[in-house]
Amino acid sequence: MKVAEAIETRRSIRAFDPGHIMTESEVERLLGLAMLSPTAFNIQNWRFVLLRDPALRRQVRAVAWDQAQVTDASLLLVLAADLKAWEKAPLRYWRLADRDTQARLLPAIDGYYRGREAVQRDEAMRSCGMAAQSLMLAATEMGYGSCPMDGFDFDAVGRLIHLPDDHVISLMVAIGKPLQPPYPRSGPLAMDDVVIRDHF
């Protein structure tokens, strides 16, 4: 499947086959592809919390408007980000680079993030958003459906997964075998409504 076809056919699926189990190699493939998603300064600040415990998923469903995909999808991933990844041994992000590159980038990372909490959070959301899209397009290419989710109590889910204080949840993504086709597209806007030429 070409990338354009995956983009065109990816839809938000809400009815999944609860009996379908993805293989471990499929899960690893999805996560490996998501981990190739870009992050600023290569800090790889996303964290993929793979919810496998059925009891935990029922608890998450209870704080997610009782949405069936939380328990019925083969995979449920909470995409979180480490807000302080930029300062946690940053050399590891550039360990394969030459020393001149390391000497230039490591101070730049510190200068960009230190004391700028809003920037840290904004970057967390950008990183998780790009990783989520990678997950969903890869799932489409593998013949699976997906659903990005923000309809849940973020604080409650954070407590359920023991989210560290220096992490933030961006969204959840459900992935699995669709039980029915998605609804038709419900009214995409015209390109002229969303593409601005040079300035508003």
Check: CB of residue 108 under 8 Å from CB of residue 119: no
Domain boundaries, the chain: 3-83+121-179
pTM equals 0.94
CATH number of 3-83+121-179: 3.40.109.10
Structure-block tokens of residue 151 = 């309809």
Q: Please tell me the predicted confidence (pLDDT) of residue 187.
A: 86
Structure-block tokens of residue 28 = 């690893």
| pLDDT tens digits for range 150-165 | 999 999 999 999 999 9
Please say if the pLDDT value at position 185 is more than 90: no
Please say if the pLDDT value at position 183 is more than 90: no
Return the ∠ at Cα 86 (arms to 80 and 88), rounded to 5°: 95
Find all residues with CB under 8 Å of 169, minimum gap 6, and list them.
78, 79, 80, 154, 157, 158, 163
| pLDDT tens digits for range 14-57 | 999 999 999 999 999 999 999 999 999 999 999 999 999 999 99
Check: CB of residue 49 under 8 Å from CB of residue 159: no
Report how far apart, in Å, the C-alpha atoms of 100 and of each of 41, 70, 111 are.
15, 47, 17
Count of CB atoms within 10 A of residue 138's CB? Answer: 21
Q: Please tell me the predicted confidence (pLDDT) of residue 191.
A: 93
